[in-house]
């Protein structure tokens, strides 16, 4: 129940203060949130929501997980921050752990976010002596100038052009287009194993193996942006390792991570395998907070908890149930994704209305495009929460004014 005081809700009062103090980069906030527990959130008026977005694939362990709280508290009491003139145990252990999960030798550069991880990777590609990068239509790699140059959406790009150049865009999932674009002047091909911002677009299973073959033929780096898909999100440590997404094993030259890596504590990583890990020399790149011992300890706690609690299998099972339930609704024309990164298409371009109706019903979703919905809930989402959402789903679509073929059914993939 809402805990409003006086004529004006706490929610409204906070929103007004937000508008007067913060830059208008995100527009008006949908809610002002005050606390969370597991996959649940509460707003400033005391209303409860099931979080099916997870901070856009960030809150891997949900909100207030004891393992994460404990790790951050203990580390902050021990050693909070040091400059990169020095090293810490958690920083070194995390780098070793990420390489072990990747199953490859290499080196790691820590950052504070996904866009910074991609910025580091872009600079790394320049150390090959080449400048051309092949990216894909529908791609999202971040908002800093270098990462933005690799991001396809014109609305993001146009206000800040000219962007760093020599980037070629090709259709995502199209092997022939990739073969035509990559040549002996190409420094790198950058791909998302699944495109998240585009609405969870899944490529053919031969796409990443073909990209690996093509880049090797031309001496180019294969760079996989796993910022949204990595660290258990799809039911594997890295999406490019998942058998549902690749027809054969792929070992990339560069992998970028962030989002769920530390469960909400800012951290990112640029991992370079083999000889690529030695391309940076001292002074080539840097960061103040990257590899911070607190962020590294948080990331180690996330990895430990995913392993200890068997969350990779859990993600696969819960994700499958969600996709099946969503696809049973006739007004959903397609359901895509793997694990707990799920995208669906609606019969009409009413995604914003569906998100608003879901919020009114107590569920937080995302509309990456006018006709697509994205779900990226905490990996600890409960069966009870799934049941409640699927039961509410038809009513949410009704409230959004969605119509469609009453006899058809969506197709799960």
Q: Are 343 and 373 in contact (CB under 8 A)?
A: yes
Q: Which of 228, 232, 381 is nearest to 302 (CA)?
A: 232
Q: Are 407 and 330 in contact (CB under 8 A)?
A: yes
Q: CA 144 → CA 179, 227, 326, 397, distances in Å?
A: 28, 15, 35, 36
Q: Are 91 and 411 in contact (CB under 8 A)?
A: no
In sequence order, the 6+-apart residues with CB closer than 8 A to the CB of 305 are: 61, 65, 67, 68, 311
Give the pair of three-digit tokens for residue 248: 């054969």
Residue 216 CA, distance from chain mean position = 27
How far is Cα 21 from Cα 208, in angstroms, rounded to an integer? 45
Residues with catalytic roles:
140, 225, 259
What is the biggest distance separating any 2 CA atoms in the chain, rounded to whole angstroms? 69
Give the pair of three-digit tokens for residue 217: 């033929």
How far is Cα 328 from Cα 16, in angstroms, rounded to an integer? 41
- Name the CA dihedral angle for 405, 390, 352, 160, rounded to a multiple of 10 degrees: -120
How far is Cα 170 from Cα 180, in angstroms, rounded to an integer? 9
Q: Are 126 and 186 in contact (CB under 8 A)?
A: no
């Amino acid at each position: 129940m809402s805990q409003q005081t006086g004529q004006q809700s706490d929610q409204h009062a906070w929103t007004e203060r937000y508008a007067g103090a913060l830059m208008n980069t995100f527009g008006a906030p949908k809610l002002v949130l005050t606390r969370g527990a597991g996959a649940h959130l509460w707003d400033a008026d005391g209303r409860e929501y099931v979080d099916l977005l997870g901070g856009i694939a960030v809150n891997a362990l949900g909100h207030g997980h004891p393992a994460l709280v404990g790790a951050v508290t203990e580390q902050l009491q021990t050693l909070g921050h040091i400059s990169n003139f020095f090293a810490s145990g958690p920083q070194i252990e995390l780098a070793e752990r990420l390489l072990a999960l990747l199953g490859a030798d290499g080196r790691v550069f820590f950052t504070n976010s996904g866009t910074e991880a991609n910025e580091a990777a872009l600079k790394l590609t320049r150390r090959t002596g080449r400048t051309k990068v092949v990216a894909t239509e529908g791609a999202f790699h971040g908002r800093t100038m270098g990462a933005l140059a690799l991001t396809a959406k014109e609305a993001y790009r146009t206000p800040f052009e000219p962007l760093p150049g020599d980037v070629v865009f090709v259709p995502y999932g199209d092997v022939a287009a990739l073969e035509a674009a990559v040549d002996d002047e190409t420094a790198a091909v950058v791909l998302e194993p699944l495109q998240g911002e585009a609405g969870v677009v899944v490529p053919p299973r031969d796409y990443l193996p073909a990209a690996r073959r093509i880049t090797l033929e031309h001496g180019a780096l294969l760079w996989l942006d796993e910022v949204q898909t990595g660290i258990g999100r799809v039911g594997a440590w890295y999406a490019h390792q998942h058998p549902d997404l690749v027809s054969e094993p792929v070992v990339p030259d560069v992998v970028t991570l962030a989002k769920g890596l530390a469960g909400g504590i800012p951290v990112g990583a640029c991992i370079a395998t083999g000889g690529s890990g030695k391309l940076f020399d001292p002074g080539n790149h840097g960061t103040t907070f990257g590899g911070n011992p607190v962020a590294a300890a948080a990331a180690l706690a996330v990895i430990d908890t995913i392993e200890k609690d068997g969350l990779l299998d859990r993600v696969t099972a819960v994700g499958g149930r969600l996709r099946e339930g969503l696809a049973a609704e006739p007004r959903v024309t397609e359901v895509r994704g793997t694990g707990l990164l799920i995208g669906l298409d609606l019969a009409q371009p009413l995604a914003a209305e569906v998100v608003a109706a879901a919020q009114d019903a107590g569920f937080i979703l995302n509309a990456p495009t006018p006709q697509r919905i994205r779900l990226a809930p905490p990996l600890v989402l409960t069966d009870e929460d799934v049941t409640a959402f699927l039961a509410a789903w038809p009513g949410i679509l009704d409230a959004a004014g969605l119509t469609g073929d009453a006899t058809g059914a969506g197709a799960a993939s």
